[in-house]
A and B are shown apart, each in its own frame.
Chain A
Amino acid sequence: MNVLATLGAASLLTALATAVFAAGASVYGLRAGNVGLLRAGRRAVVVVALFTTLATVVLATALLRDDFSLAYVASVSSTDMLPHMKWAALYSSQTGSMLFWTWTMSLFLAAFTVLTLPRMPWGAAHATAASGVVLTVFLVALVFISSPFEASEFARPDGVGLNPLLVDKGMLVHPPALLTGLTSTAVPFVLSAAALLSGRIDGAWLRAVRHWALLSWLVLSAGNILGGWWAYTVLGWGGYWGWDPVENSALLPLLPLTAFLHSSMVQERRGMLKSWNFALIFATFALAVFGTFNVRSGLVASVHSFAQSMVGPYFLVVLAATLAGSVALLAWRSPRMKAEHDFDSLVSRETVLFLNNYVLTAIALIVLGGTLFPVFSELLRDARITVGPPFYNDIVGPLLIVLVALVGVGTSLPWRQAATETVVRRARMPLLVTAAATLALWLAGVRDGFAVAAVAASLFTAYVTLREFALGARGARRARAAQAREGAIGGSFAWLAAFGGLFDRDRRRYGGYLVHLGLVVMAVAVAGSNIYQTHVRVTVPPGGSFELGRYRVDYEGLERRAGTSNGIADETVARLQVRQGDSTVADLTPGRRNFLNFPGQPMAIVAVDTGWREDVYIFVQGWDDQGVAEFQAFINPLLLWLWVGAVVYTAGGLIAFAPVRAPARAPRELPAAPARQV
């Protein structure tokens, strides 16, 4: 008997039983008014997290100890893999990633149970029951359908090893961030289900759910960004986002979640969009489940692989149940979700937030349609087609530009209503600057309509956002100066301190503005790198060279290195020197890596020289016995700014999420609109 396999399987089975108990005790305790049962149910959610943690530790131990008697370990690990890659192997394949998914979800739900539930005077029992049900659903899949603790059917003394595509340090950050982001959406879902079940559809729900939704958004955003970075630096096709069905599945939940973070402000301030906000949270979780279903079921590869495992059909049922349950809950409680106010004016920030939600919804529907269409085509016509990047770029691209522009318009408009002169005053300078810059771009020779539109929208939003920071800091300095004049405080207030002080004053607001700034920088980088990418394919003998834009690349020859670990048999790299005029810009060594257990699957070693203006990106397609090599070389303009924007975006999210030092103010209800001035 394998002790580790038994311990792991027993942990999962106990976790399942505990999750069922959590749900049952909460429901029965609520009906019977039994406080002891309710407390026990709550503790059971934490116990589930303990047992899934134990199961994860067991699988990690089996991986680190090369226990190839476990089928999963034998299929994803090998004796020569380094410990950190063995850890990455834990979530590298279906059953392991299911365990990782369930484990992180249970941790989130346990944290929610410990941190938030005790402060919730409403719906705590409903939330515990919902947590129990969600955990049960995933644990059933792990215990009965796809367990990582099944024994190997035949001996594999050294293990197969990690899929070559996954042998990279990026595996340590990208999949965990993405999976964690997806699983974290369970908390807003559970909170929303509890609010509807308990009938407490008010500000309390919003205050509780907002923070968790922001955390999910932050982690999910980071997961998607890291995915782009990984694709760019590892996969070797010159880009960072290919509108692949797996990428789409990761992006989809982020769209309604982003919409929620904006529309929740409208509910917070105006008591509007209640049912819409619930729908967005439900859609987020349903799309997270869809992502699991889409990727784990094999549906991405082919409809025919879907039925080979029970995982696909099971998650299809889970997805259908999630959707049906969400719709039923919303329909049941819709009479209680009447808006407390109406829009005072169409020219207001809430209107723009509304429009922002529409655009995000349209994008989500289009991406979902594009992702699923090949499946329907295969099902109905038995013809597999591909919905490639041009489809998304042509349709989603313009919508993203509209979205960026709306961010600027929304930021420049006040809440509730704005007089015409207010709108003019606020929009005058941003529009002038945008027009001037766009004209400058045009005169400088940038004639691509998409690029010009993207830059114009980005500039407008950048100006409006920077103005918020500048004026906020100026206001803070003036207030400080006034206090100093009155003798209340001493000393001056530097611009930098005033700027930093803004984040203390209102973290959500200024953190959000920072996110917008990051988005703008990323939008410009995406436009530049997509539209103005230079791509050459050349075949060069050793000692030869080729032109790449304004660079000359000298090819010295090939160099072979023996593999040392992680299943790598050997690596062959080409020594390249990138030159501009007489100076050397960079020494690059792109190549190929062969794997011991995957002889037919060499992996590209991508070489990138990153500059503030552009990246030089090269990989080797192949070579002959004389060392004559075929290179693919790209110039990707502004690519560095994509990552700079991503860092700003994430930093803004972190600031918005960080807890405030001062006691939180009660949500501000704005006074009613003043009587019309005559």
Chain B
Amino acid sequence: MHSVRHPVFAIGRAVTAGLVGAIALVPAFVLAGALVIADESRDAGAQDLEAQALQIETQLLCPQCTNKRLDVCELAICDDMRKLIRERLAAGDAPGDIILFFSNRYGDRVLADLPKSGFNLVLFGWVGGSIALVALVGVFSLLRMRRSAQPVASGFEEGADQWLDEQIDAPEDRPPDRPSRGAR
């Protein structure tokens, strides 16, 4: 027997869903505001030479520290490198040439972005292999499970989580043994 849904429950559900949605939306708009402002301010200074030099610095690492970016390293050698970047930019060198210059002088260890060539391809092979292995094992396991899986009957409600669907969708006066909408 079907129980009659009172419109007030539908309103209640809509209000709850709306509230939860609103709460979830708050960070989106906070983020939007902050990011748009940040984006504008970033673009504003992106044209000058100093910004270009800074951009190159972020692509280089200190030759003496471990994983420390050139733009924030305080060692004297990094000071010299930063000065050289500005001199070369002022002389008309392209950013790519400047990065290549430092790579030739100190080796690949000063490149923040690992070149995807030569021996380094081993690492990218490892990454690809890891993802492929994990994906293969996953697909194999899931297919094996699927073979033994039972088809789900329409309207089946799993006991442990039934309360969630009841809360999402059902009015208060629904009898506990009432079949879900899908079975009707």
Contact = CB atoms under 8 A, between A and B. Distances in A.
Task: Say whether A associates with B.
Answer: yes
A532 B39 CA distance: 6
Given A384-B109, A475-B167, A676-B151, A535 B180 contact: no
A462 B182 contact: no
Contacts of B50: 536-538
Contacts of A418: 152, 158
Given A385-B107, A677-B183, A621 B74 contact: yes
B111 to A, nearest CB: 7
Interface residues of A, number: 114
B35 interface: yes
Interface stretch (A5-13, A172-180, A242-250, A285-293): A242-250
Contact of A354 (B58, B138, B162, B182): B138
Given A242-B67, A433-B21, A528-B34, A440 B29 contact: yes
Interface string A513-536: 000000001001000100111111
Interface in B49-77: 50-51, 53-54, 58, 61, 66-69, 71-74
B157 to A, nearest CB: 7
B84 to A, nearest CB: 15
A425 B135 CA distance: 29
Interface stretch (A111-119, A204-212, A339-347, A559-567): A339-347
Nearest to B145: A343
Nearest to B37: A550
A613 B30 contact: yes
B38 A637 contact: yes
Interface stretch (A126-134, A136-144, A187-195, A357-365): A357-365
Interface in A422-475: 422, 425-426, 429, 433, 436-438, 440-441, 444-446, 451, 455, 458-459, 462-463, 466-468, 470-472, 474-475
Contact of A524 (B27, B150, B165, B181): B27
Contact of A635 (B20, B38, B74, B180): B38
B165 A425 contact: yes
Contact of B145 (A346, A414, A673): A346
Contacts of B32: 440-441, 444-446
B180 A345 contact: no
B94 interface: no
B163 A475 contact: yes
A528 B126 CA distance: 29
A420 B152 CA distance: 9
Contacts of A380: 119
A237 interface: yes
A342 B148 contact: yes
B109 to A, nearest CB: 5
Contacts of B20: 429, 463, 466-467, 470
B45 A354 contact: no
Contacts of A385: 107-109, 111, 114, 120
A478 B172 contact: yes
Given A361-B134, A425-B168, A459-B28, A243 B142 contact: no
A446 B35 CA distance: 7
Contacts, number: 297
B127 A366 contact: yes
Nearest to B125: A369
A542 B62 CA distance: 29
Contacts of A354: 138, 141-142
Nearest to A399: B131
A376, A433, A524: residue with the most chain B Cβ atoms closer than 10 Å: A433
Interface string B111-142: 11110000110110011001100110110011
A571 interface: no
A459 B24 contact: yes
A416 interface: yes
Contacts of A237: 68-69, 72-73
A445 B39 contact: yes
Nearest to A466: B20
A459 to B, nearest CB: 6
Given A478-B172, A635-B38, A470 B19 contact: yes
Nearest to B42: A534
Nearest to B118: A381
Interface residues of B, number: 90
B67 A244 contact: yes
A268 B41 CA distance: 52
Given A237-B72, A389-B112, A534-B41, A524 B160 contact: no
A345 B145 CA distance: 8
A358 B134 contact: yes
Nearest to A413: B161
A238 interface: yes
Contacts of B69: 237, 242
Nearest to A269: B160
A274 B163 CA distance: 29
Given A344-B150, A422-B157, A677-B153, A528 B31 contact: yes
A425 B66 contact: no
A414 to B, nearest CB: 4
A638 B160 CA distance: 38
B36 interface: yes
Interface string A351-375: 1001100110110011001100110
Given A419-B182, A478-B172, A632-B72, A670 B24 contact: no
A310 interface: no
Contact of A421 (B33, B53, B107, B181): B181
B175 interface: no
A415 interface: yes
B45 A445 contact: no
A386 interface: yes
A294 B28 CA distance: 40
Contact of A386 (B112, B126, B169): B112
A521 B27 contact: yes
B72, B109, B138, B141: residue with the most chain A Cβ atoms closer than 10 Å: B72
Given A446-B39, A462-B27, 4 more contacts: A237-B73, A419-B152, A445-B32, A471-B167
7 contacts: A343-B145, A344-B152, A388-B113, A436-B25, A444-B29, A459-B25, A674-B153
Q: Which 4 A-B pairs have the closest CB atoms?
A: A549-B41, A471-B167, A414-B161, A237-B72
